[in-house]
Amino acid sequence: MCGIVGFAFRDSFEIKDSVKALKRLEYRGYDSFGYADNNGVVGKHVGEIAIDKVPALNTKIAITHTRWSTHGGVTEMNAHPHTDCSGKIAIVHNGIISNYREIREEMEKAGHAFKSQTDSEAIAHFFENKNIKDAAPEFFSKFQGEFAVLLVKKAEEKIYAFKRGSPLVLGIAPEGNILASDIYAFSDRTNRAVFFNEDEFAEITSEGFTFYSITDTTIPIEKEITVFSWKEGEELGEYPHYMIKEIKEIPRAASRLLLSLGGEQKPAVEKVVRMLKDAKRVIFVASGSSYHAALIGVQFLARAGMEARAVVASEFRSFMLLDENTVAVAVSQSGETMDVIEAMRGIKAKGVKIASLVNVPYSTVQRMSNAHLNIGAGQEVCVAATKTFINQVITMAYMASMLGYRADFASLNDCITKALLQEERIKEIAAELKDERDIYILGRGVCYPVAREIALKLKEIAYVHAEGMMAGELKHGTLALIEKGTPVICLMPKNDKDIVSSAEEVKARGAKVISFTSNGYDSEEGVKINATDAATFAIASAIVGQILTYYIAMGKGLPIDKPRNLAKSVTVK
């Protein structure tokens, strides 16, 4: 989940410039950051990326790293880059080396002195006193796990790059070449990129690049330059945090998506829908917020008469119902979620066709798919999925509508706009919930996954223990936890009488009921939602939940865009 960037430029640049590019990837991790060049300069710092901590040094080759900790605590010594014993080799690494303990023990017996607790440092020691290109095949053979690695050698004007599992892309810029974890690191400089495939090794200079398959590093392989289109993330402007900025961008992102699905993406939509029509079973594979969107998609397809289910990607190996009558739909905001990619590899091995829903173009998930749809939300910087989640749900509804599900897209924009207009009311509720340790969210049908998504937002951004529940399951155990003053949010679409009964059940036990409602239910606290059907209610209530989470976190003074222990793109297992 770390972010890496490497610059190989024709003219000298300040190392600060490469760290500024790294700052664009800080959503991938922000425990510590560091930089190294081919002159032997190495710098490491704990905490978020701070440009003012980087010295005004010039170079033509530099590699940088922002860390999300896996092996070893958050310390300066564990920050990247890591060096070999001689200090002539420096590396940055995104991924996990699963057999590093055995390798490290072997190297220590051979006399190597390790300075950190990380798995990554073993990579630098491995290449010590070796010809990098000649040693590359042995590196791929010896080191198990996932890795995107950039390596510089003192006095060489070259960056060596290695890719297995973790994402890596090369940007072709006017100044030279840029290596990065994803295109956003250099999308402000160029729209030309070369994407690494599995088990590829490359030598990158300011003037060019040479790629090799690790099975044969004597013969270069041809690589295609892709011209990509990517909507830039704007500056914060008037907003204090990216989360609220991105919530406010939902109307524009949703409108852009609907225009795209009915226009430039229409052939892709038709291809995906044909795949679904020809299948007897549809399996969604996703993680986190994308999994909750997939659960909503299952409900939409079920209402269109299709058999569908969603499986958490990390548990997919336990799911065996795959055959020629199955279509898998991979859902991933980043397109680099390792659990999803691993599941996709198993699915492809069984010969099952895969469609995907992604936000980041040309990502690994997209390139592994037989067909794909881009959800068109644009860059999302905050760790919490807000506009990307909403656009995933809209895309699910759109696909299902092509198969018989009736969705009211005509009223969607009005519904979203009116949800955003409830901001002041939501602020008042947030102020009352700020100090609560436990919050329960109840939903039925399409609203059950929304309840789970709101609970996830409260956990990851507001640090509140929250449970999103099927309202009908309340009396089968959880009702024992309800006592006087316990906050219970009830998602109450029009004509749902059963959720009203659930609200009365908890109210009778002293709960403080907060309704997100289209049915006029009179609760102690409530937010009116203008919705015409299940899809619009699900989308509007999710937005209200996002705003509520934001203001609870604001009231607690929390780091909203960069919550503790988390990163946006989960590229390790």
Which amino acid would we find at residue 481?
Answer: L
| pLDDT value of residue 279 | 92
CA proximity to 291, closest of 472, 490, 452: 452
Global pTM reads 0.84
Rounded to 5°, the CA angle 295-338-67 comes to 120
Please give the C-alpha separations between residue 194 and each of 206, 226, 467, 473, in angstroms, as whole numbers: 15, 6, 43, 50
CB neighbourhood size of 413 (10 A): 16
Average pLDDT, the chain: 92
| Mean local confidence (pLDDT), 268-281 | 95
Report pLDDT for 406.
Answer: 93
2 is catalytic: yes
Give residue 274's pLDDT: 96
Q: Which of 23, 457, 512, 568 is catalytic?
A: 568
Percent of the chain with pLDDT over 70: 97
Binning pLDDT at 50, 70 and 90, where does residue 526 land?
confident
Q: What is the pLDDT of residues 189-218, one digit of tens each?
A: 999 999 999 999 999 999 999 999 998 888
Neighbour count for residue 266 (Cβ, 10 Å): 11
CATH fold label, 3-227? Glutamine Phosphoribosylpyrophosphate, subunit 1, domain 1 (3.60.20)
AA identity, residue 99: N
Q: What is the DSSP string of 337-395?
A: -HHHHHHHHHHHHTT-EEEEEESSTT-HHHHH-SEEEE-------SSS-SHHHHHHHHH
Task: Give the model's pLDDT for residue 64.
Answer: 97
Q: What average pLDDT does the segment 418-441 reach?
A: 95
Task: Write down the CATH number for the domain with range 236-407.
Answer: 3.40.50.10490
Q: Is 411-573 CATH 3.40.50.10490?
A: yes
C-beta atoms surrounding 351 within 10 Å = 10
Torsion of CA 294, 296, 297, 300, to 10 degrees: 170
Note whether 122 and 76 are within 8 A (CB).
no
Instruction: Enumerate the domain spans of the chain.
Output: 3-227, 236-407, 411-573
Residue 434: phi and psi, rounded to 5, are -55, -40
pLDDT digits (tens, 9 = 90+) for 446-465: 999 999 999 999 999 999 99
**Cα gap 123→161, rounded to integer Å:** 12
pLDDT of residue 326: 92
The residues pairing with 372 across neighbouring beta strands, listed in sequence order, are: 356
Mean pLDDT, rounded, for 320-334? 88
pLDDT at 74 over 80: yes
Which one of the listed residues 2, 415, 447, 490 is annotated catalytic?
A: 2
Using 50, 70 and 90 to split pLDDT, how confident is the model at 320?
low
- Dist. CA 367–CA 261, nearest whole Å: 19
Contact in structure between 519 and 494 (CB atoms under 8 Å)? yes
**Measured in whole angstroms, how far is the alpha carbon of residue 546 from the centre of its chain?**
17
DSSP 413: H
What pLDDT band is residue 340 in, cutting at 50, 70 and 90?
very high
Domain pair 3-227 / 236-407, same fold: no
**CA 292 to chain CA centroid, nearest Å:** 14
pLDDT at site 231: 60
SS3 letters across 201-266: EEEECCCCEEEEECCEEEEEECCCCEECCCCCCCCCCCCCCHHHHHHHCHHHHHHHHHHHHHCCCH
